[in-house]
Structure 1
Amino acid sequence: MNLSRVVMRLARNPGTEFSGGDDRRGYALTAPLTPDGMLDAEAYAKARSECVVRRFAPDEDAADGRLARRGNRWFFDYDDGDTADDEPVHRLGEHRFAVGEYVTVTDEDGRPLTYKVVEVQPQD
């Protein structure tokens, strides 16, 4: 099973303070992907502990969490004991993680923000 490192940076989000995007804000995700760039649920079940996420922004400390799944719902979880910190990702299981693709993450204020996949690198 191969894991990939996926980097997503904040894309243009008209109507927000990020209307022009912000390359300094985003996520770095380590996850198993299928050959076509989709999350691999079967491989995830075997490597769950290695599937991590880091949220980064210039005005806050980086937040380290994990990729999590309940049923068919995927999300980013920053504290196993607290569901209030979960960041839902719109249709994460249906997204293709390839450079140039877009992913929507709901922030801590409940706003859906769009991120652009800027890097996908296989991990050794």
Structure 2
Amino acid sequence: MSLSRIVMRLARNPGTEFAGGDDHRGYSLTAPLTSDGHIDEAAYAKAKAQCTVRRFTPDEEATDGRLAKRGARWFFDYEADDTADDEPVHRLGDHRFAVGEYVTVADEDGRPLTYKVVEVQPA
């Protein structure tokens, strides 16, 4: 099993303050992918501790967390004992992580924002 490093940057989000997108906001995710670019759930189950996320923005320190799954729901978790900081990832299991694809993540206020996959490489 190998892990991939996936970088997603904030895409255009009409109707928000990020209407034009923002390359300085995003996520760096480490996760196992199948050959077609989807999250490999079997490999994830064996490597949960290595599946990490880093949220970066220009106006705060980067925040480190982990990729987590509860039932069918995937989310980014920054404090294991606090569910208030969880950021749900819309249909993560259905997303293909390939350059140019889009992923929706709910921010800390629960607002869904779209991110563009800009990099996928071996971790």
Q: TM-score range by the shorter chain?
A: over 0.9
Match of 1:42 in 2: 42
Aligned twin of 1:22: 22
| Equivalenced residues, count | 123
- Cα distance in 2, alignment partners of residues 48 and 110 from structure 1: 24
Instruction: State the AA in 1 paired with 2:96.
Output: R
The separation in 2 between residues aligned to 1:109 and 1:52, in whole angstroms, is 21
Aligned amino acid, residue 26 of structure 1 = G
- Give structure 2 stretches of 5+ with no counterpart: none
Q: CA RMSD in A?
A: 0.6
- Equivalent residue for 2:95? 95
* Percent identity for Structure 1 against Structure 2: 80
Q: Which residue of 2 aligns with 1:65?
A: 65
Give the TM-score normalised by the residue count of structure 2.
0.98
CA distance in 2, matches of 1:67, 1:48: 8
Q: Residue deviations 1:61-81, cap 9 Å, x none?
A: 111000001112111000000
The reply on whether 1:105 has 2:105 as its aligned counterpart is: yes
**Aligned-partner Cα distance in 1 for 2:93–2:85:** 20
Measure, in 2, the Cα distance between the counterparts of 1:98 and 1:25: 18
How far 1:122 moved relative to its partner?
1.2
Runs of 4+ in 1 over 3 A off after TM superposition: none
How far is 1:97 from its partner? Answer: 0.3
